[in-house]
Amino acid sequence: MAPDDQNPLPNAKLVESKQKWAEDGRLLTGAPVPPEQRLPPGQREVKNWPVLDLGIQPEIATGDWELAIDGLVENPVTWRWADFQAQPQVQEVSDIHCVTAWSRYDNRWEGVSAAHILATVRPKPEARHIVFHSYDSYTTNVRLDVFADSDVLLAHSWEGKPLTTEHGGPVRVIIPKFYFWKSAKWLKRIEFVAEDQPGFWELRGYHNEGNPWTEERYS
């Protein structure tokens, strides 16, 4: 199914519930630990991969998918699927830490590195932040230096197979050192901006940064 031009509506009850988590400070332990400790405070290890979204799972065929990378860059690009696949491919292994308190170890990803994207589009000096836009109208924000980390990539495959729709396929962001709501699913656009622009959950009580080891769950 091709992407819908209309903004889909999230599950209002789900959003309200997650906002209540932020208001109540749910899951906070007050016990920050250094990143050298693999499991962040308040997390539990799982072997499956739970599915979390806004109640919307847009089905985007690879023939319909495209990614715009623009804003404050010298060389904006728009990639269709063949363009994306033609970029240098990397493989990474990293952990997932979800703000809902589960962590999954040793996920094998394949995709295009953030380093290659930055080298391709060449951010302007005034670019300091990034906003990810998704096909379900979701947005989230990170600092440019967070995106530039060596383990960040745009993944199209997990454990040797294409990312499924429920997990954000065809392409999602992977930012391993931050809570997983920063790793936007169903990626549609990467926008480079000068000023910070909080995204969907950041405007609803969730932390602007999202470091799991210091429990930056909520603002």
Question: Are the C-beta atoms of residues 174 and 111 closer than 8 Å to each other?
Answer: yes
4: tokens are: 């819908």
Is the pTM here over 0.95, yes or no?
A: no
User: Could you read off the pLDDT of 123-179 as tens digits, one per residue?
Assistant: 999 999 999 999 999 999 999 999 999 999 999 999 999 999 999 999 999 999 999
Tell me the CB-side half-sphere exposure of residue 193, using CA atoms within 13 A. 16
Q: Where are the alpha helices (DSSP H) in 32-113?
A: 81-86
Residue 4 has pLDDT above 70, yes or no: no
Give me the mean pLDDT over the 77-99 stretch.
98
Q: What mean pLDDT is predicted for residues 202-214?
A: 96
Strand partners, 187: 134
In angstroms, rounded to a whole number, what is the distance separating the alpha carbons of residues 27 and 29? 6
Percent of the chain with pLDDT over 90: 81
pLDDT at 66 over 50: yes
Question: What pLDDT score was predicted for residue 40?
Answer: 95
Of the ranges 16-30, 108-122, 142-156, 164-178, which one carries the lowest mean pLDDT score? Answer: 16-30
The pLDDT of 30-35, averaged and rounded, is 76
Work out the mean pLDDT of the chain and round it to a whole number.
Answer: 93
**Torsion angle, CA of 93/99/100/106, rounded to 10 degrees?**
10
Residue 7, pLDDT above cutoff 70? no
Give me the domains of the chain, ranges plus CATH numbers. Answer: 12-214 (3.90.420.10)
Ranges 34-38, 89-93, 207-211: which has the least confidence: 34-38
118 vs 20, more confident: 118
pLDDT confidence bin for 5, thresholds 50/70/90:
very low
Note the pLDDT of residue 8: 62
Peptide bond into 58 cis (omega under 30): no
> What is the spatial distance between Cα 138 and Cα 177, in angstroms, rounded to a whole number?
20
Instruction: Report the DSSP pairing between strands 44-45 and 102-113.
Output: parallel
Q: Is the pLDDT of residue 194 over 50?
A: yes
Residues 119, 73: contact at Cβ < 8 Å? Answer: no
Mean pLDDT of 200-206: 96
Confidence of residue 22 (pLDDT cuts 50, 70, 90): confident
Cβ-proximal residues to 76 (8 Å cutoff; 6+ apart), any chain: 68, 69, 70, 121
Q: How confident is the model at residue 9 (pLDDT cuts 50, 70, 90)?
A: low
The HSE-up count of residue 141 (CA atoms within 13 Å, CB side) is: 20
